[in-house]
A and B are shown apart, each in its own frame.
Chain A
Amino acid sequence: MNLTIIIPVYNEGKRAVNTVEAVLKIHDGEVVVVDDGSADNSFELLTKSFAGEHQISLLRHAINLGKGAAMKTGAKYAFIKGAQAVLFLDADGQHNPRYIPEFRKCLADYPVVFGYRELNKGMPLIRKLGNIFAAHLVNVLFGIKKKDLLCGYLGFRKEVYEIIKWNSTRYGIETEMATKVGKNKIAFKELKVDTIYIDKYKGVSLFDAMKILTQIPYWFFIK
């Protein structure tokens, strides 16, 4: 299976380079890195580090649009270039690339594969509680039982892209995707992954989580 790894980057600097290097050690296919209008030198670092590296495509948003938009650009590009499936990884190094072969294997059997974290290990309490509540709500409304609603380590095959294509540009993409998988009764698999919480000020904040919660009924009634 032609699997493309997509890494959205925003102000990650050297961390993004390290993540891409770690991915390249494991994955021999295409890697699409989307710089979402970083204000720091992430793009320059990536360009310098991977110049002439044919395995890597580096895209850049002229302005910051949010993680969801960067993921969408990456997916669109990957499918144009002939990818059969895509897998998303965060650029800050919280997703361990060693699971890529397992994702690839699962994607051969399932159109969608979600990563899930052990909620008891290292996850901040507020995130854990929010995650559990949101997972129950999505389960009740969309009939999809997921162990971890907010994990951004996930992949899907090309044929489901148009069905689960998300509109969220910032956070909430994973939840929106899960609701669409549930609503359209798409088969999926969950894969246990370990996650390292590197920066507590990055990622989904309490306010982001509240916004996501208010969006769930909207996805139920409107989308």
Chain B
Amino acid sequence: MNILGVQLIAFIFSFFMLYNVYLYWKKKEIGAKGAMVWVTVWGGLLFITSFPKYLEPLVKELFFIRLFDLGNVMALIILAYVMFENHIRINRLQKQIAKLVSEMAIKKVVKNVK
């Protein structure tokens, strides 16, 4: 079996990310549910990279020429979704922090001024 350079990079990267997930789970920075999701994502990439032939019927079905093209499209879709989710969450957090900081500032003055 010939291993392509891109396969090797994806393989190493998936391993690295799985190790990262394990470390963050051990540090309790992500919960069991979050760890499961990320293990599925990176484990899935590891599996696809190791056995690309399992996806070949899907490549043909979706009219892609190469598995690599399907991979690119899938990666872009996932990235766009993650970016959108992050944007929404960061906005929400910013608003909550601004509200909290403002309320704290007002409370402190109200307490100090007689």
Contacts and interface: CB of A to CB of B under 8 A. Distances in A.
B interface SS class: helix
A80 B98 contact: no
A interface SS class: mixed
Given A73-B102, A76-B102, A60 B97 contact: no
Contact of A77 (B94, B97, B106): B106
A87 to B, nearest CB: 19
A24 interface: no
A69 interface: yes
Given A69-B98, A169-B98, A76 B106 contact: yes
Interface string B88-103: 0000001001100110
Interface string B58-100: 0000000000000000000000000000000000001001100
A173 interface: no
A169 B96 CA distance: 13
Contacts, number: 41
Nearest to A66: B98
A61 B106 contact: no
A206 interface: no
Nearest to B94: A169
Size bracket of the A interface: 10 to 19
Interface in A39-55: 54
B105 A59 contact: yes
Contact of A65 (B98, B106, B110): B98
Contact of B109 (A63, A69, A77): A77
Ordered nearest first, which 8 A-B pairs have the shortest CB separation?
Answer: A59-B105, A73-B102, A61-B101, A59-B109, A77-B106, A69-B98, A57-B109, A65-B98
Interface of A: 34, 37, 54, 57-63, 65, 69, 72-73, 76-77, 80, 169
Interface of B: 94, 97-98, 101-102, 104-106, 108-110, 113
21 contacts: A54-B113, A57-B109, A57-B113, A59-B108, A60-B105, A61-B101, A61-B105, A62-B104, A62-B105, A63-B101, A65-B97, A65-B102, A69-B101, A69-B102, A73-B101, A73-B102, A73-B106, A77-B105, A77-B106, A77-B109, A169-B94
